[in-house]
Amino acid sequence: QVQLVESGGGLVQSGGSLRLSCAASGSIFSIYDMGWYRQTPGKQRELVATITSGGRTNYADSVKGRFAISRDNAKKTVYLQMNSLKPEDTAVYYCKASWRRDDWGQGTQVTVSS
């Protein structure tokens, strides 16, 4: 099991940027596939971006060209750089670690004002 703590959320104006971080505990972070997901009230949690243990990335169509996921295995941290933010990006953003099981963080709120 890995413990995940997200940070970096907040309130930003439309067109602005934020960088989310997800710090993981445990000794073998590099083997985990990592992902960012988001959820708004009344809706299912949706994939935003993923990065495999080998560094391969995948993005939801809605964020392609605006968001970038990256990881620093030495710091046991995965990042989500979010640029050109839109009001529809407003959500709670969750970090997920996957290796034999899925572990989730507690989430961080991102609010984009118009």
Contact 73, 91 (CB under 8 A): no
Query: Could you write out the three-class secondary structure of 27-80?
Result: CCHHHCEEEEEEECCCCCCEEEEEECCCCCEEECCCCCCCEEEEEECCCCEEEE
Query: What local confidence, expressed as pLDDT, does residue 27 receive?
Result: 72
Task: For residue 104, give both structure tokens.
Answer: 């989730």
Query: What local confidence, expressed as pLDDT, does residue 1 receive?
Result: 84
Contact 94, 107 (CB under 8 A): yes
* Tens-level pLDDT at each residue, the chain (114 residues): 899 999 999 999 999 999 999 999 977 999 999 999 999 999 999 999 999 999 999 999 999 999 999 999 999 999 999 999 999 999 999 999 999 999 999 999 999 999
Query: What local confidence, expressed as pLDDT, does residue 110 receive?
Result: 98
Query: What local confidence, expressed as pLDDT, does residue 96 receive?
Result: 98
Query: What local confidence, expressed as pLDDT, does residue 87 receive?
Result: 97
Nearest CA to 1 out of 76, 79, 100 is that of 100
Query: What local confidence, expressed as pLDDT, does residue 26 receive?
Result: 79
Q: Residues with Cβ < 8 Å from 25, sequence gap 6 or more?
A: 2, 3, 4, 76
